[in-house]
Every structure is written in C-alpha cells, then in structure tokens.
C-alpha cells in the first residue's frame, strides 16, 4: 500500500520514526520540514491531502503536536475523512465504520509504540461498508 506521511515541526520526531518503520513494507511519500524549521500545519495537511486525492488506494498519516490542527486542516478537503486517534481501537473503528483515509496523530499525546500500533491497524483494516455507506454519503453531502 502507498502511504503518504506528513508533519509539521512539532511532529517531526514521530514522523521520522514512522517513516523508518514503514519504509521496508510500504511505498512512502513524505512531506516534512527540515530539522529546526518552523512551519504551519495547514500547509503540510494540504500537501498530504492533495497527494492522497491524486492516488487511489492510498492512505495518509499526519502528525503535529496534538493532532488536532492536522485533522481540522485535512477534513476541509472533499473526499478526505481524517480521524484523530489516540489508540489502536479508534484507528480500527475509523477504518471499519468511517472509511477514514487519513490518520492524525499527536506527537505530544501518544507514545511512539502506540503510534506505530495505530498506523499498523489503520493500514491493515478495511471498510466494513453496509449500513455505514449511507452515513458517509450524508457526510459528503454536507460539504460545501
């Protein structure tokens, strides 16, 4: 699976860790600032989302300090369902019930091991479909 990683300066260490862990088993695209560079999280959310929307069967992972800014920024784009998760159960349910295509993480909120577990579950879990399809259609219809 193709995975697009992105982070701002506050998520750089976790993003680098995830990149190192995932590069052997997934094709990766990474959008991150250089060490010491302060950047704005909406810019990196947009880079990841735009790349994701151009490629089918792709998932994104965004990291900032809390994960909140990245999730808000990513969810501004039609066709994106970004889920801010703090444990593997949330990551699994984001895929099963919400067909989330972007996982948002907070470097200051979750440990690196827990983050890796969430990413693994997020990438391995499919969408359940069924009763959830109509709900997602309602969400898409809400977007202007």
Q: Which domain holds residue 52?
A: 2-142
Q: Which is the catalytic residue, given 7, 15, 64, 85?
A: 64
Tens of pLDDT, residue by residue over 28-59, are: 999 999 988 899 999 999 999 999 999 988 99
The band of 129, judged by pLDDT with boundaries at 50, 70 and 90, is confident
Spatial distance between the Cα atoms of 105 and 124, rounded to a whole number of angstroms: 17
Q: Give the CATH number of the domain where residue 99 resides.
A: 3.40.1400.10
Three-state DSSP state, 78 = coil
Alpha helices in 1-144 (DSSP H): 12-22, 41-53, 68-74, 88-98, 112-124, 131-142
This prediction's pTM: 0.95
Nearest to 122 by CA among 31, 47, 30, 59: 59
**Domain count along the chain:** 1
Q: Which is the catalytic residue, given 97, 104, 132, 144?
A: 97
97 is catalytic: yes
85 is catalytic: no
Average model confidence (pLDDT) across the chain: 95
The band of 19, judged by pLDDT with boundaries at 50, 70 and 90, is very high
Three-state DSSP state, 84 = strand
Tens of pLDDT, residue by residue over 85-120, are: 999 999 999 999 999 999 999 999 999 999 999 999
């Amino acid at each position: 699976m193709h995975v697009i990683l992105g982070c701002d300066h506050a998520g750089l260490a976790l993003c680098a860790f995830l990149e190192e862990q995932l590069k052997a088993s997934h094709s990766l695209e990474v959008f991150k600032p250089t060490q010491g560079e302060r950047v704005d999280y909406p810019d990196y959310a947009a880079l990841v989302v735009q790349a994701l929307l151009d490629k089918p069967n792709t998932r994104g992972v965004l990291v900032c300090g809390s994960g909140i800014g990245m999730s808000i920024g990513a969810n501004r784009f039609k066709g994106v369902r970004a889920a801010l998760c703090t444990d593997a159960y949330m990551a699994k349910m984001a895929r099963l019930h919400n067909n989330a295509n972007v996982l948002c993480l907070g470097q200051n909120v979750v440990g690196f091991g827990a983050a890796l577990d969430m990413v693994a579950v997020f990438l391995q879990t499919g969408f359940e479909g069924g009763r959830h399809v109509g709900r997602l259609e309602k969400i898409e219809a809400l977007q202007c």
